[in-house]
Structure 1
Amino acid sequence: MITFYPGPSKIYPQVADYAADAVRQGIVSLNHRSAGFMDIVKETVRLLHEKLDIPADYHIALVSSATECWEIVAQSLTAVSSLHPYNGAFGKKWAEYAYKIKPPVSLSDADVLCIVQNETSNGTQVSMDTLAQFRRDFSALIAVDAVSSMAGVKFDWSLADVWFASVQKCFGLPAGLAVLVYSPSALKRAEEIGENVHYNSLLFIHENFSKFQTPYTPNGLGIYLLMRVLQQLPAIDLVDEITKRRATDWYTFVEKEMSATPFRLLINDPATRSDTVIAVQGDEQEVANVKKAAQQKGITLGNGYGAWKSTTFRIANFPAITDEEIGTLTQFLRSYQA
């Protein structure tokens, strides 16, 4: 089965061998305070800096999920309230989740701006140019949910103070781990707030990761697999080039080669279209039919999500997906008769 589901999505095929290595070598049985495990954490952090071109003064921690990162931002980095401009389901969920922890008493005094860089639900994204405008206009911290784009496209990390992503999308790994990147300014804010009463308080996390340890027993297998995948990956400049070329090809394909079908791109503005999640719309029955037909051909298309659940299907454009698999899907879509 070929999957284009936008998360959890296709994992790199080498992951099976890496997991077997972890079992054979006893990696999965290492104590998380042991020197051997600390070496794995240290190397994983080093590789994240190197392969994703993360600035040397930005800190990195590994946590359970992007949802946990929402919680960390709310409890450890928000003094008054957070501001959440959004245009999709995940941005809305982040706002709702954050406001349960830190109710929005005074949004005019918001001290954290929370942006979903790539909105998986509808295939939109916030460009680096737009993020730069936010940076100019907002004087406090900026936190970015980059779940569907980190490790798939290149970021200007200086445009935000917190970036985070789960690994089940562009990293090509199983779910259960997230990468949290935070600036010196974010750490300073955490120190000023002084929130240190939770197992996942940022200060407690930082204290542990400064020693290449974790504050709780972690997903050791996931961290090892992340290290091994990072070792095989090219630099983000090349990954970014490939991702954006493929995205251009996908949008051209849907606009031109699918013009005689009942399907159209959900997002009309090219400037706001995602590079990593392509959303295609049609009426409810047509969408159900094409997904069923694809499944019969051994291809899994992504379901729609939220308000677009029944009237869209989504195509992941993640690095682990091969050109051959893309060719199989485009051939199917060319020949598909509604």
Structure 2
Amino acid sequence: MITFYPGPSKVYPEVQHYVNETFDSGVISANHRSEAFMKMLEETISGLKSKLNVPADYEVYFVSSATECWEIIAQSLISEGSLHIYNGAFGEKWMEYTQKLTGSARSLPFELNEESEIGKVTSSANEVICLTHNETSNGTVISDQVLNALRARTDNIIAIDATSSMAGVVLPWESCDVWYGSVQKCFGLPAGMGVMIVSPKAVARAIEIGENAHYNSLLFIRDNFIKFQTPYTPNTLGIYLLGKVMQQVASIREVSDETKKRAAEWYSFLADNGYQALVQNEAVRSDTVIAVRETRERIAELKKAAKQAGIVLGNGYGKEKETSFRIANFPAITQDEIDILKQFLVSMTSQ
């Protein structure tokens, strides 16, 4: 099956070889305090920072998932409260979970085709501002211009969910203080690990708050990672595979250019062949998750026929669950596979 599901999505085929390598090297069985593990972790972090062009003074931690980052941020960085700016299901879920933990999460929702209105942001000094860079549920994105404008406007800690865009497009790292994502999307890896990238400013805030009561407190995680260790037995295989994929892929600038080129071709193709993009405002369309509007009946027909043709389309999600399907535009997906899906979609226009 060729999968275009937007996460977990297609894994780079080379990963099969890398898995075998871990057995041959012995690192998969190494103690996470051992020299072999520490060297591997250091190399993986170095490779990620180099390929994704992460600022030298930002720190990289590996956790269980992007979802766990909601908890880490709530525990270790929120002292007064948080402001959540979102237009989709995952941004809303982040807000709801934070509210359960802190009781002090505020919402600033906006509509599907709107740009996030930074001019409406009013936040007290110690509130953490939380945004979803690429809303996987509906195929929207917050532009670099909006994030840079927010950074210029406030000195608050800014945390951003980049789950379906990290490693797929260039990110404006210095506009935000905490970036996080998972490896099962643009990284082209099996699910089971999250990546958290933290600015010196966020580290300073964590030290100021001093929260260290949990196994996944940011300070406890950091104390270990600066020694190239982990606070708990990690996903050693996932870390090793990430390191190998970072060696394999091109620089993020090259990857991003290809992602954006393919996205533009996708949106043009859809318009030319009678399909309607869910997001009508081109300024807020995602480059990595292409959402397509259809009727419930037509979606069921498309998905059934696609499955018979050996293709997996992504379900709709959240408010658009019944009226859309989604197409992953992640780097591990090849042009040949994209062409097969396009041919299928063309064939379905006459049915």
With the shorter chain as reference, the TM-score category is: over 0.9
Question: Which segments of 5 or more consecutive residues in structure 1 lack a partner in the other structure?
Answer: none
Q: 1:167 aligns with which of 183, 198, 202?
A: 183
- 1:278 aligns to what? 290
Q: Which amino acid aligns with 1:253?
A: F
Whether 1:41 and 2:41 are equivalent positions in the alignment is yes
Question: Which segments of 5 or more consecutive residues in structure 2 lack a partner in the other structure?
Answer: 108-122
The answer on whether the counterparts of 2:6 and 2:136 sit within 8 Å (CA) in structure 1 is yes
The answer on whether the counterparts of 1:80 and 1:105 sit within 8 Å (CA) in structure 2 is no
- 1:327 aligns to what? 339
Q: What are the superposed Cα offsets for residues 95-149 of structure 1, whole Å, 9 maximum, x if unpaired?
A: 0011111111788535100010000000000010011121122321000100000
Q: Which amino acid aligns with 1:61?
A: Y
Whether 1:209 and 2:209 are equivalent positions in the alignment is no
* Runs of 4+ in structure 1 over 4 Å off: 105-108
Deviation at residue 26 of structure 1 after TM alignment: 1.8
The answer on whether the counterparts of 2:63 and 2:196 sit within 8 Å (CA) in structure 1 is yes
- 1:3 aligns to what? 3
- For 2:86 and 2:172, the matched residues in 1 are separated by 20
Whether 1:308 and 2:320 are equivalent positions in the alignment is yes
- 1:25 aligns to what? 25
- For 2:269 and 2:150, the matched residues in 1 are separated by 32
- 2:71 aligns to what? 71
SS for the counterpart of 1:181 is strand
Q: 1:225 aligns with which of 215, 229, 241?
A: 241
- For 2:322 and 2:172, the matched residues in 1 are separated by 35
SS for the counterpart of 1:57 is coil
TM-score (norm 1): 0.97
Aligned residues: 334
The answer on whether the counterparts of 1:170 and 1:320 sit within 8 Å (CA) in structure 2 is yes
- For 2:155 and 2:83, the matched residues in 1 are separated by 13
State how 1:90-239 maps to structure 2 within 5 Å.
Answer: 90-104=90-104, 108-109=123-124, 111-239=127-255
Root mean square deviation, CA, Å: 1.1
Q: Which amino acid aligns with 1:307?
A: K
- For 1:126 and 1:67, the matched residues in 2 are separated by 20
Deviates more, 1:219-228 or 1:131-140: 131-140
SS for the counterpart of 1:169 is coil
Deviation at residue 11 of structure 1 after TM alignment: 0.3
The answer on whether the counterparts of 2:88 and 2:137 sit within 8 Å (CA) in structure 1 is yes
TM-score (norm 2): 0.93
Q: Which amino acid aligns with 1:273?
A: R
The answer on whether the counterparts of 1:22 and 1:221 sit within 8 Å (CA) in structure 2 is yes
SS for the counterpart of 2:86 is coil
- For 1:106 and 1:222, the matched residues in 2 are separated by 35
Deviation at residue 237 of structure 1 after TM alignment: 0.5
Q: Which amino acid aligns with 2:44?
A: T
Deviation at residue 225 of structure 1 after TM alignment: 0.5
The answer on whether the counterparts of 2:84 and 2:105 sit within 8 Å (CA) in structure 1 is no
- For 2:49 and 2:20, the matched residues in 1 are separated by 26
Deviates more, 1:183-192 or 1:307-316: 307-316
- 2:50 aligns to what? 50
- 1:267 aligns to what? 279
- For 2:322 and 2:31, the matched residues in 1 are separated by 46
